[in-house]
Amino acid sequence: MFIGEAPGYYEDVEGRPFVGSAGKFLNQLLEMAGLKRTDVYITNILKCRPPNNREPQPDEVEKCTPLLENQIKSIQPNIIITLGNHATEFIFSKTGLRFYGITRHHGKPHEVSLLGLKVKIFPTFHPASALYHGEYKTLLMEDFNKLRSLVDTS
């Protein structure tokens, strides 16, 4: 299961997550990890795009996360890959892990109990970050190579 922040413009238009530029890059990353998009469930914390594509506000997160929690309970994933600060911070808060920013946590798996499920959390950067900050592209590719071995052992 992959969890991002919120839909962008094209995601809002199509009603599917990660269909824009970040989605195309995510598809390449999935391939690096030996996965196909049809093998994974992809969602976001927020279910609609915030005005002017701004960061999610706490009240928006609070309103949307019951649906996310229901998705997690229904899917019962073995691994949750959190994409970016917002998704990682939310999932960490639900497991008792302290969050210090994605640059500190990316690429490091954690075995936790989440909503009554035993699951591995694998934080990494949001694919869109690589589109704006080239230095994150290499880090994301390294993380997805690590994810490949994590998936192989799960």
HSE-CB of 49 using CA atoms within 13 angstroms: 15
Per-domain residue ranges for the chain? 2-153
Tell me which CATH code domain 2-153 carries. Answer: 3.40.470.10
Under the banding of pLDDT at 50, 70 and 90, the label for residue 108 is very high
> pLDDT tens for residues 51-102?
887 888 989 999 999 999 999 999 999 999 999 999 999 999 999 999 999 9
Whole-angstrom distance, CA of residue 31 vs CA of residue 44: 20
